[in-house]
Copies of this chain bind each other. A is one copy, B any other.
Amino acid sequence: MQKINQKIIAKKFGVSVSTVSRAMNDSHQISEPVKKKINSYIKKIKFQPNPHARSLRNMKTKTIAVLVPDIANSFFTLSLRGIEEVLHKNGYNLMIFQTNDQLETEKQIFNQLESGIVDGVLSACSSNKNGAIEHIMKLNEKIPVVFFDRFLKELPIPYVTTNNFEVSIEATDAILKECTDVFFVGISEKISVTAERLMGYKTALSHNKIAFDPKKILMFEDEASAYKKFKILLQNRKNKSAFFSTVERYTMELYKVCTELNIKVPDDIAIISFTNHPYIHLFMPNMPIVSMPSFDMGKMSTEILLTLIKKKKLLKPNYILPSTILY
């Protein structure tokens, strides 16, 4: 396999490497005919300049990294489509990392990214204000970081998220009409969006003059523990109860338990859930859902990131795209 580089091309045309380089970079410094001649040859043989040499020289990689907790979550799957679309249009590549909501994993990835393999980072981060944030700030000194979905208000890092607080009030209000005994389901208060949603839940309760009961807050680290808890709760239930779930996969577990215990949704139990699963209404036909603008959030955060990478001014650092409740 014949390896090819600018030197070889230069030799072929009897010019210098810089002329080839300039042709490829569409420089104004060289004559049109030469430029055209070289470029048409380059196109013909499909020559691509060595990206490492270019990166080494330019300190640019034309690649960005995305950190998500879980690629299987429909919200992130859809966001990734939006992200990909924008990147592709701009000639950027995408590197995807899963954190599984492990702070240690996240830290490790952030550290790794400091080596310079990417030009920017999109992060739906697991960190919280109390926890470690140094890794984020440290990376952000080198390359731009943009949060999407999850974010940290305290940090001077742009973010694109949704109106978690408001839509959670609305969601809780809606379900309170069915039943006043509402459980809140989440992952951890440490996650920004969960905290906001919980706040919305509490606010709605207070609007409706319902006492807040800490026992109604259910936070789970994994599906298995969610399942177990739901099973116990529903086996021992006395009155109709309701669930406001902020985690798609836990909603699935809840529904699984309902099926097993032959509990009918929405007659015996009321559920409202955050989800972007395209077929959710096939399994849970009557469940109202909170649908996030995943695709647009992905697109917008990527556009912001690219703006920062190009060192252009941001019109606004933060964007909040509204979610909608579908009944």
Interface residues of A (CB under 8 A from B): 1, 46, 48-53, 55-56, 61, 63, 71-72, 74, 77-78, 80-81, 84, 93-98, 111-112, 114-117, 141-142, 252, 255-256, 259, 278-279, 282-283, 285
Closest 8 CB pairs of A and B: A283-B283, A48-B115, A52-B55, A52-B56, A72-B77, A252-B279, A52-B52, A1-B141
The answer to whether B283 and A256 have CB atoms under 8 Å apart is no
Q: Is the CB of A93 within 8 A of B71?
A: no
A50 touches B94 (CB 8 A): no
Closest B residue to A91 by beta carbon equals B112
Q: Which residues of B contact A256 (CB under 8 A)?
A: 279, 282
- Copies of this protein in the assembly total 2
Nearest B residue to A46 via CB reads B111
Across the interface, name the chain B residue whose C-beta is closest to A73: B77
| A52 touching B116, Cβ below 8 Å | yes
Q: Which residue of B lies closest to A61 (CB)?
A: B52
23 A-B Cβ contacts within 8 A? A46-B111, A46-B114, A48-B111, A51-B115, A51-B117, A52-B52, A52-B53, A52-B56, A52-B116, A56-B56, A71-B77, A71-B80, A71-B81, A72-B77, A81-B98, A84-B98, A93-B95, A94-B96, A95-B96, A252-B278, A259-B285, A282-B283, A283-B283
Residues in chain B near residue A283, CB distance under 8 A:
279, 282-283
Measured CA separation A201–B52 after assembly (Å): 49
Could you say which residues of chain B place their CB within 8 Å of the CB of A71? 71, 77, 80-81
Q: Smallest CB–CB gap between A17 and chain B, Å?
A: 16
C-alpha gap A74/B74 in the complex (Å): 11
| B-chain residues with CB within 8 Å of residue A93 when the two chains form the complex | 95, 112, 117
Name the CB-closest residue of B to A60.
B52
CB contacts (< 8 Å) of A141 on chain B: these are 1
Residue from B48, B74, B114 in contact with A48 in the complex, judged by beta carbons closer than 8 Å: B114
Q: Is the CB of A48 within 8 A of B282?
A: no
- Known A96-B96, A283-B279; contact A48-B1, beta-carbon cutoff 8 A: no
CB distance from A59 to the nearest CB of B (A): 8
Residue numbers in B under 8 Å from A111 (CB-CB): 46, 48
Instruction: Tell me, in angstroms, the Cα distance from A212 to B74 when the chains sit together.
Output: 38
Judging by beta carbons under 8 Å apart, are A48 and B279 in contact? no
Which chain B positions have C-beta within 8 A of A279? 252, 255-256, 283
Q: Note all chain B residues with C-beta closer than 8 A to A95.
A: 63, 93-96
The answer on a CB contact under 8 Å between B115 and A49 is yes
**Which of B48, B78, B81 interacts with A112 by CB under 8 Å?**
B48
Q: How far is the CB of A156 from chain B (nearest CB, A)?
A: 15
A81: min CB distance to chain B, Å: 8
Q: How far is the CA of A81 from the CA of B95 in the complex (A)?
A: 14
Residues in B neighbouring A50, C-beta threshold 8 A: 56, 115-116
Closest to A76 in B: B71
What would 19 more interface pairs be, CB under 8 Å, given A50-B116, A52-B53, A93-B95?
A46-B111, A48-B114, A48-B115, A49-B115, A51-B115, A51-B116, A52-B55, A52-B61, A52-B116, A71-B71, A72-B78, A94-B96, A252-B279, A252-B282, A255-B282, A256-B282, A259-B282, A259-B285, A282-B283
